[in-house]
A and B are shown apart, each in its own frame.
Chain A
Amino acid sequence: MKSLHATGHLLSSESAQLRILNELEHPAFREKLSLNGLHPLKPTGIDIFQVNVGYMCNQTCKHCHVDAGPDRKEIMTRETMQACLDALAKSDIHTVDLTGGAPEMNPDFRWFVEEIVKQGRHVMVRCNLTILTVNPKYRELPQFYADRGVEVVSSLPYYQASQTDRQRGDGVFDASIEALNMLNDVGYGKPGSGLKLNLVYNPFGAFLPASQERLEADFKKALWEKHGIEFNSLFVITNMPISRYLDFLIVSDNLETYTTKLVNAFNPAAAMGVMCRNTISVGWDGYLYDCDFNQMLGMHVDANSPQHIRNFDVASLSQRDIKFDQHCYGCTAGSGSSCGGAVV
């Protein structure tokens, strides 16, 4: 499967995606924020420094908001990584969240992790699991992560193969199980090891996720009983109606029903806790965004704030107005959704 970008699909255009979402007859997200005293939406601080090191991936998942895949060539350079390190050195941000694509496919990935760890920051890597099984070079990564105390956060849409493979590609479930065993073997997810292995669930279709607590119990039971796998927590994430998931919603004639469901499930408490309030997202080219979703929609941080990592300034960015649009209903539905799962 090719990316929308490679095929010149209409939905590879950021403005086309926003136009489609705004043409739906839903109340403006701005109104919902205003009604709940949350407009303008302001940061509570910057606790998480999320870096997208490139859109290249060994998988082409049907729901991917990044439109990542083997044909994507956007990759963060070592120079931009150094600018990230310089920015971090001037801040007291405790967590660096590395994402992609498959972040491991960036040729400078390991160097970058080493340098961040040297600064004493906590590193999370959003690992798609299958990359760990691709070749001997990547098979070294579980030990590399363990030696540096890196937290591994991995997508697994279901504890059964059928649903997982329909979303992420044929054979992905079996390769993911192999990778989870590799991570368990070096201590990840094992009690007392201090090595955190968290899984991410997102629905394999046009419906909202179940409760995080209930699903975590299901996943733990099924993965342990059938595969002998242990992990720490399950993060439950709502699918965001952009990019390839938006394409799925349109093609399957679910767009209106799904977005109506998101709007009707708007939860002010979830809006209070949205991740953009304590996160800054850095794009592969060094530009700054309020979150990875805004990054994919080309929505740079507020024009009054530093726009690029070279000009990073925590004080100024902490005062910015967070940008939003109709897609933001994806983070405020029900129990809310963030890169760390439910927020309420």
Chain B
Amino acid sequence: MSYYEPSDLAKFPAIADFEPNLAKKFFAWYGDVFAEGALTEREKSLIALAVSHAIQCPYCIDAYTTDTLEKGASEAMMMEAVHVAAAIRGGASLVHGVQMMNKAKKLSM
């Protein structure tokens, strides 16, 4: 058995069973976040898909793969979003290379 059960995604609202007030606030805020605004719903969904990969959340990946398709995104748009997440993650590691170089230079003759 995996720690992650795909069917648990549909049970997300059940977090309110243990603490209803905070859950209510969270879901209301969540809904507002994803509503059409200065960004379109599709743009927000693609950002969510990218972030899902950055944080490697299987539930979020399932949810926002479906959601981006249902917002009319093409497969190329979806994969470009994943590359953005990967580039930021990769870049975040690589930029620390400067710190490594600084330290190495300090230690070296």
Contact = CB atoms under 8 A, between A and B. Distances in A.
B69 A203 contact: yes
Contact of B70 (A163, A207, A218): A207
A215 B72 contact: yes
B74 interface: yes
A117 interface: no
Contact of A207 (B10, B66, B74): B66
A208 B70 contact: yes
Interface string A153-165: 0000010101100
Interface string B8-31: 001000000000000000000000
B78 to A, nearest CB: 12
A210 interface: yes
Contacts of A330: none
Contacts of A260: 10
Contacts of A160: 74
Nearest to B65: A207
A214 B36 CA distance: 12
Contacts of A163: 74-75
Contacts of B66: 207
B75 A210 contact: no
Contact of B42 (A203, A209, A214): A214
Interface string B85-96: 000000000000
B53 interface: no
Contacts of B40: 214
Interface residues on B, range: 10 to 19
A205 interface: yes
A205 B72 contact: no
A210 B40 CA distance: 13
Interface residues of A, number: 15
Contacts of A218: 72
A208 B71 CA distance: 9
A341 to B, nearest CB: 14
Nearest to A219: B72
A209 B66 CA distance: 11
A205 B70 CA distance: 10
A261 to B, nearest CB: 9
A255 to B, nearest CB: 14
Nearest to B66: A207
B74 A214 contact: no
A4 to B, nearest CB: 26
Nearest to A203: B69
Interface string A93-110: 000000000000000000
Contacts of A208: 70
- In the complex, which of the residues B40, B42, B70, B75 has the most CB atoms of chain A within 10 Å of its own CB atom? B70
A210 B74 contact: no
B103 to A, nearest CB: 48
B9 to A, nearest CB: 10
Q: Which 9 A-B pairs have the closest CB atoms?
A: A210-B72, A207-B69, A215-B72, A207-B70, A208-B70, A210-B71, A207-B66, A214-B72, A218-B72
23 contacts: A158-B74, A160-B74, A163-B74, A163-B75, A203-B69, A203-B70, A205-B69, A207-B66, A207-B69, A207-B70, A208-B70, A209-B70, A209-B72, A210-B42, A210-B70, A210-B71, A210-B72, A214-B40, A214-B42, A214-B71, A215-B72, A218-B72, A260-B10
